[in-house]
């Protein structure tokens, strides 16, 4: 079964899909929560049957290989800057 918008349009977006064993739940759309935009996280919508409320759970988005390389590069740059500072201190007679 599918759930679609109540519209006069010929083409409407499917809001949800469910199969036998699942149930449709009526919900007041005026109180429908909006997800937070949290960098590095994705969200999934859940329904609490006891409180009859919707909520989002957030999970980490795995970093791409490029993001991991960028983080490694930044750590290397910081390490190099720290070493350069230590060498300068030694050359200037500091501890």
User: For position 42, what pLDDT does the model report?
Assistant: 94
What pLDDT sits at residue 38?
Answer: 94
CB atoms within 10 A of CB 16: 11
Confirm if 3 and 24 have CB atoms less than 8 A apart. yes
pLDDT of residue 94: 61
pLDDT tens for the chain, residues 1 to 95 = 667 777 787 777 777 767 777 777 777 778 888 999 999 999 988 888 888 888 899 999 998 999 999 999 999 999 999 999 999 888 888 65
What length is written for the chain?
95
Kindly give, in sequence order, each residue whose CB lies less than 8 Å from that of residue 48, ignoring residues fewer than 6 positions away: 54, 55
- Tell me the whole-structure pTM to 2 decimals: 0.51
């Amino acid at each position: 079964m599918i759930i679609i918008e109540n519209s006069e349009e010929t083409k409407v977006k499917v809001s949800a899909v469910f199969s036998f064993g699942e149930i449709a739940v009526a919900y007041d759309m005026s109180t429908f929560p909006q997800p937070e935009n949290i960098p590095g996280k994705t969200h999934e919508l859940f329904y609490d049957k006891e409180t009859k409320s919707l909520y989002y759970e957030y999970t980490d988005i795995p970093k791409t290989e490029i993001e991991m390389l960028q983080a490694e590069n930044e750590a290397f740059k910081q390490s190099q800057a720290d070493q350069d500072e230590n060498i300068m201190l030694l050359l200037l007679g500091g501890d």
